[in-house]
Amino acid sequence: MTTNLKKDDTLKVRMDGQTLSLLEQARAYVDLDKSKFVRMSVREKARAIIAEHENTRFDAWDWRMFFEMLDHPPKPTERMKKAAKKYKAISSS
């Protein structure tokens, strides 16, 4: 997804005193002005949210099941055989 941004695009944000205080304290540690700090923080959070929604995560059970199915695949059903036949017909055309 791309958007056309102009250098003068702005975002006005209202924040409570506690949030502003946290922002000021954190940005001072990394020596950035407010604007750069907010942009950096938004990018980090946005990337994390996007990764969480676009990446698949497996727990230990999922991995065991995955490798078990690779080592011992199930016998193809009639529906699977029919789908494979249809795929071959379509892809060889």
pLDDT at 42: 96
Give pLDDT, residue 2. 59
Residue 85 has pLDDT above 60, yes or no: yes
Q: Note the pLDDT tens digit of each residue in 27-64.
A: 999 999 999 999 999 999 999 999 999 988 899 999 99
What angle do helix axes 17-30 and 34-54 make, rounded to 10 degrees?
100
Q: What's residue 1's pLDDT?
A: 56
CB atoms within 10 A of CB 41: 14
In the chain, where the domains are located: 15-74
Please report, for residues 3, 13, 19, 28, 45, the alpha-carbon distance to residue 35 in angstroms, rounded to integers and kept in the order given: 20, 11, 15, 13, 15
Give strand ranges (E) for 1-93. none
Report the distance separating Cα 73 and Cα 61, nearest Å. Answer: 17
Residue 40: phi and psi, rounded to 5, are -60, -45
Q: How confident is the model at residue 10 (pLDDT cuts 50, 70, 90)?
A: confident
